[in-house]
Structure 1
Amino acid sequence: MELNREDGSGEEFLAFTLGHEEYGIDILKVQEIRGYETVTRIANAPPFIKGVINLRGIIVPIVDLRIKFQLESVEYNQYTVVIILNLTDRVVGIVVDGVSDVLTLQSQQIRPAPEFAGALDTQYIRGLGAIDERMLILMDIEQLLRAPDMALVESAEMA
């Protein structure tokens, strides 16, 4: 995946937190940011698929990335947000602990994802963004949501 832009303007990422880590996703995939609301549960769905919401007539599956990434404590409070993503062929919501800001990263600020000898799956990590003292884990959110264990997201949309 190409990280460089020809015009030198950089790439914009929406920064959000999961536990103690800060992540970034391509701002162009973000449709809107909403507060967490009650979802309609789907029978036999894995725990990280919270259910679906009706967003202006579109049924949107909601995935809690905190549960997906096995964070120790997952609580829903006034800071919990849902990032509604508009991907190539579907709309999906992801639950995160909070959203901080939109950051523009130049290609020299983006480092390749580190290699871990089989201990950690890094295929969903585009790279690491360095902004002053901050380190942002840049996710390929579309790749993550198309993973085989997320197949229920597609079937949830058709329900």
Structure 2
Amino acid sequence: MDLSLSAIGARVLRTRSLVRAPIALYKAGLGWLLGSRILMLEHRGRSSGLRRYVCLEVVERPSPDRIVIVSGFGERAQWYRNLKAHPQCFVSTGSLRRAPATARLLSDEESAQALGRYRAARPRDWELLRGAIEKATGRPVDGLPMVELALRERPLTRGSR
């Protein structure tokens, strides 16, 4: 039995209840406990139109109103496909609560540049993430699609109305 951090991360990524556990914290107004490196993305289902939620790692914050996230499962990830169909969404991270945003799928070149910056800034985190994704998907990570979330207005912070 492989007990490496990558193997454990892959098991977590394949276990729906574990992947979705942080959503309950955000919905209870406690998402700030997870810090600003994790966000909850609220988006619409491309077919159903229903609200959907996913928690993701923040790759970078190029400016206060821009957040870049990565799709570890590539373009087949449901949230990625939903944003492609309906780019209007909401973001909660750190003290931000349900900030309206518009998603923009980054080009392959932009994604590669963002991934390069992430690798340089967080080499240990990258190795763990890459290993977990490769073990979970059974494929090597060559490049990963990225999404830039542009906050549309001044978001509410914890305790403000």
Which is richer in strand?
1
Q: TM over 0.5: same fold? A: no
The TM-score normalised by the length of structure 1 is 0.26
TM-score (norm 2): 0.26
Write 1 or 2 for the structure with the bigger share of helix: 2
